[in-house]
Chains A and B, each alone.
Chain A
Amino acid sequence: MNHAAMEILFANMRLVEERRGDFRTMLGASEKASEHLDRLVTRFGVDELLHSCDELIARAERRMRDAVSRLPPGEYYAEGYVESTGQSADPLKVSLRLVIAQDGLLADFTGSSAQVAGVTNVGPALAPSAVFTIAKAFLDPKVPINHGSFAPIKVYAPEGSFINARYPAPCGGMAEVKFLIESVVAAAFCQAAPDRAVGDLKGGANHTHIAGYRRAGKEQFILYEWPAGGTGATATTDGSNAVRTYTEGDFNSIQSAEGIEASFPLRVERCEIREDSCGDGQHRGGFGLRREIRVLGDDATLSVLSEKNVIPPYGVDGGASSHPNRFRVLREAREVPISKIPGKVSGFPLKVDDLIRTETAGGGGWGLALDRPADWVVQDVREGYLSLETARDRYGVMIDSGVLAEAATEDLRARLRTERVIARVALLDAEGSSTRRLVVMDRDIADRLRAAEGDLCELSTGRGAPLRGWLRISEVTGGIVRIAGDAMAILRARSGDQMEVRRLASPGARS
Chain B
Amino acid sequence: MTKALRDGYHIGVDVGGTFTDVLCIRPSGDVIASCKVPSIPGQQWRGVLQALAESGLHPTELRGVVHGTTIATNTILERKGARTALITTKGFRDAIEIGRTRRMVGGLFDFCFVRPQPLVARRFRFEIDERTATDGTVLNDGSGTDWRAIAEVCRSNDVESVAIGFINSYANVGNERTALDRLRETLPAAFLCTSTQVSQERGEFERFSSAILNAYVGPVVNRYLDGFVAALKEAAVDVDVEIMGSHGGSLTLDEARRNPVRTFLSGPVGGAVGASAIAKAAGIRSFLTFDMGGTSTDVGVFPDGNARMSFENQIDAFPLRVPQIDLHTIGAGGGSIAHRAADGTLEVGPASAGADPGPACYGRGGVDVTVSDANVVLGRLPSGTRLGGHLALQPSLATEALTCLGQSMGTDDIVRLADGAIRIAVAKMAGAVREVTVHRGHDPRAFDLIAFGGAGPMHAFFVAEELGIPRVIVPRWPGHLSALGQLSASRRYDYVRYVGKRLSSIDQEELRNAAEELLQSARNDLDAATSGAHGQETELSADARYVGQSFTLAVPMPGNALDLESLRAGHRELHTETFGYADDAGDLEIVSLRLVARTHVAPVKLAYMPAGADIRSSGMAWFGDDWHTTPVIQRDRLPPDTLIDGPALIEEDGATTVLPPGWRITVDPIGNLIGTPEIPFT
Contacts and interface: CB of A to CB of B under 8 A. Distances in A.
Interface of A: 15, 17-18, 20-21, 24-25, 27-28, 31-32, 36, 59, 62-63, 66, 133, 136-137, 141-143, 198, 227-228, 231-232, 234, 236-238, 240-259, 261-262, 267-273, 286, 289, 292, 382-385
Contacts of B343: 59, 62-63, 66, 143
A369 B583 CA distance: 56
Contacts of B345: 59
A198 to B, nearest CB: 4
A238 B112 CA distance: 9
A27 B581 contact: yes
B504 interface: no
B493 interface: no
27 contacts: A17-B547, A63-B343, A136-B109, A142-B110, A198-B111, A231-B111, A232-B111, A237-B112, A240-B113, A240-B114, A241-B115, A243-B115, A244-B103, A247-B109, A248-B108, A252-B101, A255-B100, A256-B206, A258-B134, A261-B167, A262-B500, A268-B91, A271-B95, A271-B98, A272-B92, A289-B98, A292-B91
Contacts of A238: 114
B122 interface: yes
B625 to A, nearest CB: 16
A66 B114 CA distance: 27
B162 to A, nearest CB: 18
B167 A273 contact: no
B92 A261 contact: no
A52 to B, nearest CB: 12
Contacts of B581: 24, 27-28
Contact of A250 (B95, B108, B122, B548): B108
B599 interface: no
Contacts of B109: 133, 136-137, 141-142, 246-247
B94 interface: yes
Which of B101, B121, B342, B586 has most A Cβ within 10 Å?
B101
Given A59-B343, A249-B108, A259 B92 contact: no
B107 A250 contact: yes
Chain B interface, >50% SS class: loop
B93 interface: yes
A140 to B, nearest CB: 8
Which of B112, B123, B549 has most A Cβ within 10 Å?
B112
Contacts of A273: 94, 97-98, 122
B122 A385 contact: yes
Contacts of A248: 108
Contacts of B104: 250
Contacts of A63: 342-343
A408 to B, nearest CB: 23
B134 A24 contact: no
A286 B98 CA distance: 12
A24 B121 CA distance: 43
A478 B342 CA distance: 53
A259 to B, nearest CB: 6
B205 interface: yes
Interface string B178-213: 000000000000000000000000111110000000
Given A31-B580, A137-B110, 8 more contacts: A24-B579, A62-B343, A244-B103, A252-B101, A256-B205, A258-B134, A383-B122, A383-B123
B87 to A, nearest CB: 16
Contacts of B663: none
A59 B347 CA distance: 14
Nearest to A240: B115
B101 A253 contact: yes
Contacts of B100: 252-256
Given A238-B114, A242-B101, A289-B98, A17 B548 contact: yes
Which of A28, A62, A227 has most B Cβ within 10 Å?
A28
Given A21-B546, A289-B98, A258 B92 contact: no
Given A17-B548, A28-B581, A272-B93, A257 B167 contact: yes
A384 B126 CA distance: 12
B533 interface: no
Given A21-B546, A271-B94, A244 B111 contact: no
Interface string B433-454: 0000010000000000000000
Contact of B102 (A232, A252, A257): A252
A241 to B, nearest CB: 6
Given A246-B111, A269-B91, A254 B101 contact: yes
Contact of B111 (A31, A234, A254): A234
A241 B97 contact: yes
A240 B317 CA distance: 13
Contacts of A240: 103, 113-115
A272 B98 contact: yes
B392 interface: no
A31 to B, nearest CB: 5
A344 B533 CA distance: 69
B266 interface: no
Which of B121, B343, B549 has most A Cβ within 10 Å?
B343
A248 B101 CA distance: 12
B133 interface: yes
A102 B108 CA distance: 27
| Among all A-B residue pairs, the 8 with the closest Cβ atoms | A270-B91, A252-B100, A28-B580, A240-B115, A228-B101, A141-B109, A261-B134, A383-B122
Contact of A28 (B91, B112, B546, B579): B579
A236 B114 CA distance: 10
Given A258-B167, A258-B202, A384-B122, A246 B91 contact: no
Given A28-B581, A243-B102, A271 B91 contact: yes
Nearest to A255: B100
A237 to B, nearest CB: 5
A249 B109 CA distance: 9
Nearest to A265: B134
